[in-house]
Amino acid sequence: MSAGLWQQSWRRLRRNRPALAGASLLLLMIVLALLTPWIVPFGYEQQNLHLGATPPSPEHWLGTDVLGRDMLTRILYGGRLSLTVGFIATALALIIGVSYGAVAGYLGGVVDALMMRVVDILYALPIMIFIILLMVLFGRSLLLLFLAIGAVEWMTMARIVRAQVQSLRRQEFVEAAVAIGLPPGRIIAQHIIPNTLGPVIIYATLTIPSVMLLEAFLSFLGLGVQPPQSSWGLLISQGVETMEEYPWLLIYPGIALASTLLALNFLGDGLRDALDPKSAED
Amino acid sequence: MLLQVSHLSTQFRSRLGTVTAVNNVSFSLDAGQTLAIVGESGSGKSVCCYSLLGLIPQPPGKITGGTALFQGRDLLAASESELRTIRGDDIAFIFQDPMTSLNPFLTIGEQLLEPLVRHRGISRSAARRRALEVLQEVGIEPRRFSHYPHQFSGGMRQRVMIAMALIVEPKLLIADEPTTALDVTVQAQILALITSLQRRYNIAVIFISHDLSVVANFADQILVMQHGSVVERGAVDDIFQRPQQAYTRQLLAAIPRGTKVVQTSTSREASAPLLQIRDLETHFKAPGAGLLGLLRPPAAPVKAVDGVSFTIERGDIVGLVGESGSGKSTLGRSLLRLLPVTAGTVHFEALELGALAPSALRAQRRHMQMIFQDPYASLNPRMTVAQTLAEPLLFHRLATRKDVDKRVYTLMGEVGLPRVSAGKYPHEFSGGQRQRIAIARAIASKPAFIVADEPVSALDVSIQAQILALLLDLVAAHGLTMLFISHDLSVVRKLCDRVMVMHRGKIVEQGLTEQIYGCPQAPYTQALLAAVPAAPL
């Protein structure tokens, strides 16, 4: 027998240059984020009020902020947090959304109607109030922040997957799986979910950045990360306030976020193609 | 000479290189004559005609040579606007699928008027009179003038298409598989309609078809194409009686005809029947389900299977024929409990399938399998052949992880697939090969009973003959019992021991194949049999 789906996918992915570049950049970001405490020369809360905001210099490569803190250090520490939020909350949204949507779409009928009305109702609730409620009830913690964001983002995923599954379950290969005698759980896992991967991956790569921005917004409201800790979103929103005087406070965190998003999009596109056996050119 | 095509060549450029779709094709046609272009899918028969009228996308397509003189004017050298005039005035098209060629948002009347009002500048009222006249000629009542396409059946839609083609009084009609999507009785009506209109208005017709037996009765000339080239041409009688080329003979041999050779061992022991079906009913709820559906008064259900009783003896191949919408597919799926059954019982040996718990039914499924119509939809695109075939084996514990590869290879051998294709995905195979994979999957769990739902109707004739032969071999080798669902009466006659005729959810007639075909009792069966296009010989 020939190579499995994963090996073939990897081979296809390797031939896709933009996706490979995206993956490399993302990997670099993750490695930097992991190693940050050991490679930065300054502490993220280390202030130098005499210095104030300075443009990039040999000592402070990306300049300093109004409190004289090294921007490179703060961006690296911010990246740790933003990447963690992005990946954990998206993974959560992915797991809940895909399984919820797949079950609703596959079972159909009244079960589907009930499940999707629950989603509609949750959709209608203002996200902020929902998250603030969670924070108030359970206290403020980073873990809860991840959970809260994930708990909001899964709903769109569930809708996308459900629509996919609804058309898939009418296909003859799913009927053939029923005819073989496979139980519903196995049909969903083996025959349905793999065929929804394309849109799911694309949406996941779009969710990661939107999650990062949501975190920035929550932090801005004082519900997320608290100073002196930081995240890219928070750095950007602070940078906006002073962008006319000290543009580097906005530009560098902006570049960090934007390049991550770009890398994610390229990688997502590449993954979708690589996981689709039809795109094989060999 | 109305149309004279000489040395037409068309190429398509793709990433994989240049494909010559039409290679040096020449033919000619007089007014009032019918030319049939016959070939299998990919033979270039459609591209050839579309090239004439600038209907192929360029690029990737490119007409690389030839001339096409239509009333003395070279179509291939004509400008786009000249071609548009010719398409509107002198040459009309009918396509295979009338639904996709009609605008769903306009009434058919509106669509009939448009060419007259827009291109001919005829007043609306005059155009309307002409439209009603044409509708009457194709057998559509005037009151349906303001109906939308979805309110028509497939056959009626094709009549609308013919009306649209005729309304401009063309000199040449190009019909691309106009009856392929239609039931056999409707097909006969449409063919008769085209022929009679052709005689009355002296229209030349180019009839593109994959089916030699369809064109046998009314074409003057036949052009057989393969791989973009003309293999053979000649009058109908010559092609059928004295075919010169091997490929033509192969096509003719692939036309299912004759009857099943009955086994000499008539002494089949009188065992209990394998399947006993009593008063089976499958109804579909009218649309509008969901939560809101609960609030509405229930609409009358669609009775797809409406009180059906029969038995299937062990070892028989039973044909189930009927037109689309007769409920034959629903019946097949209901037998296997792939659909929720409304009422009635299905006994498989001593088991009543309806009384089984879900898990017991799943275990029972290894004994009863299904082969589906569309080999493009019935295989999971993300699973290799090996994975697809291993799934039933592993699930029903008929093989272990260790010896599953060997069993898969055996299965592939049985259906004539090479071992090297085990790691390939469905999209890498042709339709016929895919159907072989689907058949291998169905026999993997060594079932006693198989429902084959139109297993060859999506395939080319020569492939069709191969798959039918394979099915017969497998039935003999494994002692299978089969319900063979088909709209093609000649295929059923060749394959089946017994036949059931289904009409509007009920079985109107059943019996031994030769009895049914020899002296049909029910009027519906008689009408069905009369409509089968009979190839000479």
pLDDT tens figures, A172-202: 899 999 999 999 889 998 899 888 888 888 8
**Other CB atoms within 10 Å distance of the CB of residue A40:** 18
Interchain proximity B427–A112, CB inside 8 Å = no
The chain B residue lying nearest A2, using CA atoms, is: B423
Task: Identify all chain A residues contacting B370, using CB atoms and an 8 Å cutoff.
Answer: 175-176, 179
Q: CA angle at residue A28 from A22 to A33, to 5 degrees?
A: 130
Identify the CA nearest to B394 among candidates B384, B381, B405, B410.
Answer: B405
**Other CB atoms within 10 Å distance of the CB of residue A189:** 13
pLDDT digit string (tens) for A95-111?
A: 999 999 999 999 888 89
Cα→Cα distances B253→A185, A246, B42, B229, Å? 47, 84, 20, 21
Residue B233 φ then ψ, to 5°: -140, 155
Cα→Cα distances B271→B193, B315, B317, B506, Å? 50, 11, 16, 27
Interchain proximity B380–A183, CB inside 8 Å = no
Give A192→chain B minimum CA distance, Å. 9
pLDDT for the residue B78: 80
Task: Identify all chain A residues contacting B359, using CB atoms and an 8 Å cutoff.
Answer: 183
Is this prediction's ipTM beyond 0.90?
Answer: no
Interchain proximity A109–B289, CB inside 8 Å = yes
The chain B residue lying nearest A108, using CA atoms, is: B290
Interface check for B445 against chain A (CB to CB < 8 A): the answer is yes
Task: Identify all chain B residues contacting A180, using CB atoms and an 8 Å cutoff.
Answer: 365-366, 369, 391-392, 395, 441, 445
pLDDT for the residue B265: 43
Task: Identify all chain A residues contacting B424, using CB atoms and an 8 Å cutoff.
Answer: 2
pLDDT for the residue A2: 43
Point out the residue among A109, A110, A180 whose CB comes nearest to the CB of B392. A180
Task: Identify all chain A residues contacting B333, using CB atoms and an 8 Å cutoff.
Answer: 175
Interchain proximity A180–B395, CB inside 8 Å = yes
Task: Identify all chain A residues contacting B396, using CB atoms and an 8 Å cutoff.
Answer: 181
Task: Identify all chain B residues contacting A2, using CB atoms and an 8 Å cutoff.
Answer: 384, 422-424
Interface check for B336 against chain A (CB to CB < 8 A): the answer is yes
Identify the CA nearest to B230 among candidates B41, B426, B8.
Answer: B8
Average pLDDT over residues A42-61: 73
Length of chain A: 282
Q: CB of B467 within 8 A of CB of B265?
A: no
Give B472→chain A minimum CA distance, Å. 21
pLDDT for the residue B299: 65
**Other CB atoms within 10 Å distance of the CB of residue B354:** 15
pLDDT for the residue A282: 42
Identify the CA nearest to A171 among candidates B422, B146, B375, B495.
Answer: B375
Give A173→chain B minimum CA distance, Å. 4
Average pLDDT over residues A209-232: 78
Interchain proximity A280–B425, CB inside 8 Å = yes
Task: Identify all chain A residues contacting B427, using CB atoms and an 8 Å cutoff.
Answer: 277-278
Interchain proximity A277–B441, CB inside 8 Å = no
Structure tokens at B67: 């001339």
Confidence of residue A4 (pLDDT cuts 50, 70, 90): low
Interchain proximity B392–A109, CB inside 8 Å = no
pLDDT for the residue B130: 85
Mutate to test the interface with A, among B295, B380, B457 (most CBs of A within 10 A): B380
Mutate to test the interface with A, among B291, B292, B373, B382 (most CBs of A within 10 A): B382
pLDDT for the residue B368: 94
Give B413→chain A minimum CA distance, Å. 15
Point out the residue among A1, A173, A277 whose CB comes nearest to the CB of B405. A1
Point out the residue among A114, A171, A277 whose CB comes nearest to the CB of B425. A277
Interchain proximity B289–A117, CB inside 8 Å = no
Residue A191 φ then ψ, to 5°: -110, -30
Given a cut of 80, whether residue A33 has pLDDT beyond it is yes
Q: What is the mean pLDDT of chain A?
A: 83
Average pLDDT over residues A137-156: 80
Give B71→chain A minimum CA distance, Å. 46
The chain B residue lying nearest A193, using CA atoms, is: B382
Point out the residue among A171, A277, A278 whose CB comes nearest to the CB of B377. A171
Q: Give this prediction's pTM.
A: 0.78
Interchain proximity A180–B445, CB inside 8 Å = yes
pLDDT for the residue B370: 94
Instruction: Give the rounded percent of residues in chain B with a pLDDT score beyond 70.
Output: 93
Task: Identify all chain A residues contacting B428, using CB atoms and an 8 Å cutoff.
Answer: 280
Tens-of-pLDDT digits for all 537 residues of chain B?
A: 888 888 888 888 877 678 788 888 888 888 888 899 988 877 888 888 888 887 877 777 788 888 888 888 888 888 888 888 888 788 888 887 766 778 888 888 888 888 788 777 788 888 888 888 888 888 888 888 888 887 777 778 888 888 888 887 888 888 888 887 777 777 888 888 888 888 888 888 999 888 888 888 888 888 898 888 888 888 888 888 888 888 888 888 877 776 666 554 444 555 778 999 999 999 887 655 455 555 666 667 788 888 899 999 988 999 999 887 788 889 999 999 998 888 899 999 888 898 889 999 999 999 999 999 888 889 998 899 999 999 999 999 998 888 999 999 999 999 989 888 888 888 888 888 899 999 999 999 999 999 999 888 878 877 888 899 999 999 999 989 999 999 888 889 888 999 999 998 899 999 998 888 888 889 999 888 888 876 555
Give A211→chain B minimum CA distance, Å. 30
Interchain proximity A181–B381, CB inside 8 Å = no
Interchain proximity A173–B380, CB inside 8 Å = yes
pLDDT digit string (tens) for B384-433?
A: 999 999 999 999 999 888 899 999 999 999 998 988 888 888 888 888 88
Distance of CA B480 to the CA centre of its chain: 26
Cα→Cα distances B247→B231, B254, B318, Å? 7, 11, 32
pLDDT for the residue B264: 43
The C-alpha atoms of residue A132 and residue B220 are separated, in whole angstroms, by 81
